[in-house]
Chains A and B, each alone.
Chain A
């Protein structure tokens, strides 16, 4: 079953077209990695999936719900789509615990005790149980990003979106975050990840999408993509990235 369906999506900022006729899909349990040079529109595409950005043409359906449908309650849909941001975006004025529970309580209507139990379980899962009472500012970047993942997981999402989750991190912290993501992937979470981490893609991705200038130029299984990418730009991009 298709969890995320993206059909002929185009988007403009004023006169500037950022997405051109993008179509793809993510089926349940699938891990899809989206890569491409900066400015290729990959972050914009993933932000469209939960409606953080509006699209002007095409259709996006998440778990059977069309985003553009006027009867769709976007907030309700987003509550079940986890998202992890490049800059973590933990709420700095709340403790880690409050970050984990606030949306569970205010959006899902869970009791404080229930939310706390769920939140702490997820915090334990990302290996940060000891940090529960700290504030985000007291944590390292890698720790903050793991809390952000736990915060999204505590909402019991049907799928997870990752928008360059490791690009704001110091190199030594990248792996602690990737480890959590790999674990999630192997457990069968449906994931769409914008990332340059090709090691991660090789390890767990089912498919790799390559974007350039707002278009999807390559959408292939992992083996095809790393074996023989057809698009010239993708080959060039890969050769640059894999040299590192």
Chain B
């Protein structure tokens, strides 16, 4: 058993902070787009329009059947080609970040769509009837009556999903992007201190995620009364 040597961590903090920034950037983008696009998908799935509902279901089920690692690799393959074709961006420029953002946003949408669908279904049907009876058309009923209640019910689940997403961003390692984990790995590899850096990264993730889940738990307790 070797002695631990933590001395390479203080000097590496700026690199690790840069990595954390990338992690947070991907997480925030995926949450934002995921909830917006996920809401669209959920409403499409619940709409009476058969082809639309089917397409949305196919999207959601496909993304939920494939490992995130494969999804990241897929978009790393597709995005450069599309960027080149549509915007003339050269294939050689670093598009890892863009393809990771696209992959996470589209992937998370499928998961958020299912949460939102369940949330919408948790609103009693009588609420829809009442809104209809007051003369509200479908879009007003959804916007003013159903979605606000659905999101209120969903807040804990949406936040929990965000914590999972924050952890999952570490998988951008497979396309060599230096997020927090990637940065930690690189520093550890460079200084021959992989063991310390991995344990340090694990501890940082644990503190952040455990803290966040405590907050969610508090929130849940406050709202459920």
B134 at the interface (CB under 8 A from A): yes
Let me know if B145 and A91 touch, CB within 8 A.
yes
Q: Indicate if the CB atoms of A91 and B130 lie closer than 8 Å.
A: yes
How many residues on B have C-beta within 8 angstroms of the other chain's C-beta atoms?
18
Name the contact of B134 in the complex, choosing from A47, A78, A87 (C-beta under 8 A): A78
A75–B149 contact, CB under 8 A? Answer: no
* Stretch of A10-18, A99-107, A121-129, A176-184 that contacts chain B: A99-107
Q: Please provide the chain B residues from 128 to 179 with a CB less than 8 Å away from any CB of chain A in the complex.
A: 129-137, 140, 144-145, 148-149, 152
Q: How far is the CA of A80 from the CA of B127 in the complex (A)?
A: 18
- List residues of A (58-86) whose CB comes within 8 Å of B's CBs: 75-83, 85
**Structural contact, A83 and B133, CB atoms closer than 8 A:** yes
B130 touches A76 (CB 8 A): no
- Our pick among A75, A77, A78, A87 for the contact of B126 (Cβ within 8 Å) is A87
Name the contact of A85 in the complex, choosing from B129, B136, B144, B152 (C-beta under 8 A): B129
Whether A50 contacts B149 by the Cβ 8 Å rule is: no
Interface residues on A, range: 20 to 34
Asked if residues B130 and A107 are in contact (CB atoms below 8 Å), the reply is no
* CB contact under 8 A between A85 and B126, given known A78-B134, A79-B135: yes
Is there contact, CB below 8 Å, between B149 and A93?
yes
> In whole Å, how far is A225's beta carbon from the nearest beta carbon of chain B?
28
Q: Whole-angstrom distance between the alpha carbons of A219 and B129 in the complex? A: 28
Answer yes or no: A31 CB below 8 A from chain B CBs. Answer: no
**Interface of B, helix, strand, loop or mixed by DSSP:** helix
| Closest Cβ neighbor of B151 among chain A residues | A93
A108 to B130, CA, bound (A): 16
Q: Is B133 touching A50 in the complex (CB atoms < 8 A)? A: yes
Contact with B along A143-170 (1 / 0, CB 8 A): 0000010011001000001000000000
- With known contacts A85-B126, A91-B145, A106-B144, A151–B134 Cβ distance under 8 A: yes
User: Which B residues are in CB contact (< 8 Å) with A92?
Assistant: 149
Contacts of B124 in A (CB 8 A): 87, 89
User: Is A52 part of the contact surface with B, judged by Cβ < 8 Å?
Assistant: yes
**Interchain CB contact under 8 A, B129 and A103:** no
Besides A75-B132, A83-B130, 5 other CB < 8 A contacts? A78-B132, A78-B135, A89-B129, A103-B135, A151-B134
Q: 3 closest Cβ contacts across the A-B interface? A: A79-B135, A89-B130, A83-B133
* Contacts A/B (CB < 8 Å), 23 sampled: A52-B132, A52-B133, A76-B135, A77-B135, A79-B134, A83-B129, A83-B133, A85-B130, A85-B133, A87-B124, A89-B126, A91-B144, A92-B149, A93-B152, A102-B134, A102-B144, A103-B135, A106-B136, A107-B134, A107-B135, A107-B140, A152-B133, A161-B133
